[in-house]
Amino acid sequence: MGLLTALEGGYGDRGDAVVMDGRSSSWEGLLGAAGAVAERAAGATALAVLARPTLETVAAVVGGLLAGVPVVPLPPDSGPKERAHILRDSGAALLAVGGEDADTDPTEAGAGIGLLPVDLAARAGAAAPAAAEPTPDTTAFVLYTSGTTGAPKGAVIPHAAVAADLDALADAWQWTAEDTLVHGLPLFHVHGLVLGVLGALRTGSRLVHTGRPTPGGYAGARGSLYFGVPTVWSRLAADHGAARELGAARLLVSGSAPLPVPVFEQLTALTGRAPIERYGMTESLITVSTRADGERRPGSVGLPLAGVRTRLVGEDGGAVPHDGESVGELQVAGETLFRGYLNRPDADAEAWTADGWFRTGDVAVIGPDGFHRIVGRASVDLIKSGGYRIGAGEVEAALRDHPAVADAAVVGAPDGDLGQVVVAYVMADGPVTGEQLTAFVAERLSVHKRPRRVVLVPELPRNAMGKVLKKQLLDLG
């Protein structure tokens, strides 16, 4: 079985080893249902899974992994065009459905794609079917990127990369079978699925998925290890009673987007636990993180995981100093990386350097002590104005320090004179003007970093993981 060691019986079993939105399963029961999926999926080109946060989804994913078949998670809210692209591009021969999707019309899966119903009672009490264990090089997942610059691309993730990443995280976070992991994240991303499901099935920790990630759901789960995105932690910080209930937890982990410093500080004050922040991508899995036994610094994602190497590269291709100030493109290397994009040699050529490093497309700062701070995406978060290179994240952090600012996002707008100018989109939490916010930033940062324009908005557009969709902001005016 290799990857999912908890299902091998070494950690014992319990009736509520996996709890998904109020329904529970033992590892033995999950293995039985997954074994039935594996029998039917064996030999398929790929197994697509309609990834709702259910036990059926977990059984389908595990079944595909047992069979050595690439698993292709489908966002349950994906539109017809996106779903058709992923199914066609991945070459999936089967679509696993269960629960509320069990009666899906076969024609909805698309031509040439069969439905594979998932039955949690299948093979109850039976041993898993004998099958050759997938090799480390076997593809575990084809995970599709968000498609912000075109149609989503399928990142090919081997079993070895998943195992290496989860083992490195278990080491960094001291994650063991004694933990109860709690989260309410989507199961079609690295965060919710690879970390949030397979992490538990590898370390042997109990898993509680809350369905929707509400403050009450998190507080009532009584976990020792919690995963969340900044939106989740912001809502928890605003619910003081629920936040205090998390004081008994061992570790609070935030990822998928930068955690605002005020939220970091509020959580620390309410729970007595400074949150862990980490950094990763679909293509690289998690590569940098604060450690459970190390310093937890607001605005920092910590140090490279075991087996991961990082470097900063300037626009001229030269090395950028690790001085805590200089900004460069973050490049990574190591065992957690994907093998490439499915059927996209053009994208592979752009993604990899000649000496084998992956270009993340993110810009970052590394301090003399090795701590990493992510500035943002090079395409939208590195602003070039009047000869200066300005990190959007630094300006956003300064804006969030204002007591009347609930959240902020900063972009570079085209300008005929300066090339780009800093524009801030701000969710206000009290009376404030754009002029006041511009002056506030200018008092804290270099004057050239101040916003030239401030737009007050009721909400910031976000994707399912809480990341601000910055390319939509300029359309707001």
Neighbours of 344 (CB within 10 A): 17
Residue 7 is predicted with a pLDDT of: 86
Residue 345 is predicted with a pLDDT of: 93
| Strand order, beta sheet including 419-428 | 405-415, 419-428, 453-456
**Within 13 Å of residue 393, how many CA atoms lie on the same side as its CB?**
22
- Assigned token pair, 436: 């006041």
Residue 205 is predicted with a pLDDT of: 96
Radius of gyration of the chain (CA): 22
Residue carrying structure tokens 């950094």:
279
Burial per residue of 306-342, b for 16 or more beta-carbon CB atoms within 10 angstroms, e otherwise = eebebbbbeeeeeebebeeeebbbbbbbbbbbbebbb
Could you write out the DSSP letters of every residue in 345-363? HHHHHHHB-TTS-EEEEEE
Q: At what angle do helices 261-271 and 392-400 cross, to 10 degrees?
A: 50
Residue carrying structure tokens 């935030």:
254
Neighbours of 345 (CB within 10 A): 9
pLDDT digits 0-9 by tens, 229-253: 888 998 999 999 999 999 999 999 9
- Assigned token pair, 395: 């300006």
- Assigned token pair, 160: 């070895």
Q: What residues are paired with 340 via a beta bridge?
A: 156
Q: What residues are paired with 213 via a beta bridge?
A: none
- In whole angstroms, give the CA distance from residue 111 to residue 40: 19
Using a 10 angstrom Cβ sphere, with 0-12 exposed, 13-18 middle and 19 or more buried, the burial of residue 36 is buried
User: What amino acid is encoded at 345 in this protein?
Assistant: P
Neighbours of 124 (CB within 10 A): 12
**To the nearest 10°, the Cα dihedral for 369, 374, 379, 384?**
-60
- In whole angstroms, give the CA distance from residue 400 to residue 260: 7
Residue 146 is predicted with a pLDDT of: 66
- In whole angstroms, give the CA distance from residue 2 to residue 68: 11
pLDDT digits 0-9 by tens, 46-75: 999 999 999 999 999 999 999 999 999 998
Q: What domains does the chain contain, in order, with CATH numbers?
A: 5-195 (3.40.50.12780), 386-476 (3.30.300.30)
Residue 65 is predicted with a pLDDT of: 96
- Angle at alpha carbon of residue 88, lines to 114 and 61, rounded to 5°: 60
Residue 465 is predicted with a pLDDT of: 62
pLDDT digits 0-9 by tens, 158-197: 999 999 999 999 999 999 999 999 999 999 989 999 999 9
- Assigned token pair, 360: 């993340």
Residue 132 is predicted with a pLDDT of: 63
**Within 13 Å of residue 414, how many CA atoms lie on the same side as its CB?**
4
pLDDT digits 0-9 by tens, 262-289: 889 999 999 999 999 999 999 999 999 9
Using a 10 angstrom Cβ sphere, with 0-12 exposed, 13-18 middle and 19 or more buried, the burial of residue 80 is exposed
pTM for the model stands at: 0.83
- Assigned token pair, 19: 């709890």
What percent of the chain has a predicted confidence (pLDDT) above 90? Answer: 64
- In whole angstroms, give the CA distance from residue 321 to residue 367: 9
- In whole angstroms, give the CA distance from residue 360 to residue 351: 8
Could you write out the DSSP letters of every residue in 291-348? -TTS---TT--BEEPTTEEEEEE-TTSPBPP-SSS--EEEEEEETT---EETT-HHHH
Residue 108 is predicted with a pLDDT of: 63
Neighbours of 72 (CB within 10 A): 28
Lowest mean pLDDT among 303-307, 392-396, 437-441: 392-396
Indicate if the pLDDT at residue 222 is higher than 90: yes
pLDDT digits 0-9 by tens, 313-354: 998 889 999 998 888 999 999 999 999 999 999 999 999 999
Residue 26 is predicted with a pLDDT of: 92
- In whole angstroms, give the CA distance from residue 159 to residue 120: 25
Average confidence score pLDDT of the chain: 89
Contacting residues for 393 by C-beta, under 8 A, at least 6 apart: 258, 373, 374, 375, 376, 381, 410
- Assigned token pair, 219: 């507080």
What percent of the chain has a predicted confidence (pLDDT) above 70? Answer: 93
